[in-house]
Amino acid sequence: SQQGEEDPQALSIQEGENATMNCSYKTSINNLQWYRQNSGRGLVHLILIRSNEREKHSGRLRVTLDTSKKSSSLLITASRAADTASYFCATDARGGYQKVTFGTGTKLQVIP
């Protein structure tokens, strides 16, 4: 399975602090994506980083990718209570672009 492993499984921080989540995966990828899921709802795409990119920014989000270590991190800066959600990394596989599989997820709680 291409499923990634994420850590930590759960993270609780104060509003205004930064939150960092990590994702490791198993085989070569075409790209890595991060999604957010509010409780009981669908997933929302946050950011995609291609295998030939090392870092990408979008607003308060910063994603890094290290293909040599098969790992990625998502940094959320200046967190807000509204950032409380579960965050999943997702990977495809070279030659299997449609098979998008999700990591185990990090549950983030931002305390006001």
Partner 1 sequence: DTEVTQTPKHLVMGMTNKKSLKCEQHMGHRAMYWYKQKAKKPPELMFVYSYEKLSINESVPSRFSPECPNSSLLNLHLHALQPEDSALYLCASSQDRNQDYSSYNSPLHFGNGTRLTVT
Minimum CB separation of residue 90 from partner 1 in Å reads: 8
DSSP state of 15: T
Binding site for partner 1 (CB under 8 A): 3, 30-31, 33, 35, 40-45, 48, 50, 88, 90, 92, 97-105
Closer residue to partner 1 (CB): 30 or 64 = 30
Minimum CB separation of residue 91 from partner 1 in Å reads: 12
Kindly give, in sequence order, each residue whose CB lies less than 8 Å from that of residue 58, ignoring residues fewer than 6 positions away: 46, 47
Peptide bond before residue 8 is cis, with ω within 30 degrees of 0: yes
